Every structure is written in C-alpha cells, then in structure tokens.
Amino acid sequence: MKPPKVYRFYHQSETEPESASGVNKLIEEFETFFLGSGEGDFYEFLLKAVERPLIENILRRTHGNQLKAAKLLGINRNTLSSKIKKLKIEIGSFKSFHDTRRKK
C-alpha cells in the first residue's frame, strides 16, 4: 500500500522541494490572508487551525483510544491528554458502543 501524499512530502529529501508544493501553497494562502489582516502571531494562528481537527480525526480513527492516537501522532500520551483538555475536546464522543462494552 502506498503511503499518503503528506507522508511522502514529509519523508522527501530536501533536494526535492517541488514534492511539497501542495503543502507550501496552502501555507502561502494562509500567510497571505493572515499577513494581509495586519494581525501578528501567524504560527499560533496556523497551529490552532490545524491542531484541533488533526487530533479529532485521529481520535475518531482510534475510537477514542488515546494511547493509539498518541502513537499515530508521534507524541506522548500525556501530551495528547493535555492537548485534549486544553482544546476542550470531548473524548467520549469518539468512543464507539463496542469499545465501551467489557469483553468476557
């Protein structure tokens, strides 16, 4: 199975900058909009725009399992837990019925 494009962008060598052109274009669009507004702290703005949906999507895929989600994200489970609290993400909404039943 082929890895997703973003994974390939991340793992391309620096000698192939055109491979990340889609990601760069998206960042440039955010940058143009943000800098045009005269506001500061572009990094924080971009992080807020991406972090919550990223964590929510991973939690959805792992049915709310924070350990699995943290491994997929490449961060410590405690770090993920802190981010979930900070972003006020309701973890229970990602758990499926099957995950909440005890296996005998």
Q: What is the pLDDT of residues 8-60, one digit of tens each?
A: 545 554 554 554 677 788 778 877 777 776 666 778 877 887 899 999 999 99
Tell me if 38 sits within 8 A of 32, measured CB to CB. no
| Domain layout of the chain by residue ranges | 1-38, 41-104
In this predicted structure, what is the pLDDT of residue 42?
76
Residue 70 CB: number of other CB atoms within 10 A? 20
Answer yes or no: CATH 3.20.20.100 is held by domain 41-104.
no
In this predicted structure, what is the pLDDT of residue 85?
97
Q: What is the pLDDT of residues 62-96, one digit of tens each?
A: 999 999 999 999 999 999 999 999 999 999 999 87
Could you tell me which of 45, 4, 2, 12 has the C-alpha nearest to residue 27? 45
In this predicted structure, what is the pLDDT of residue 86?
95
In this predicted structure, what is the pLDDT of residue 95?
86
Whole-model pTM: value is: 0.63
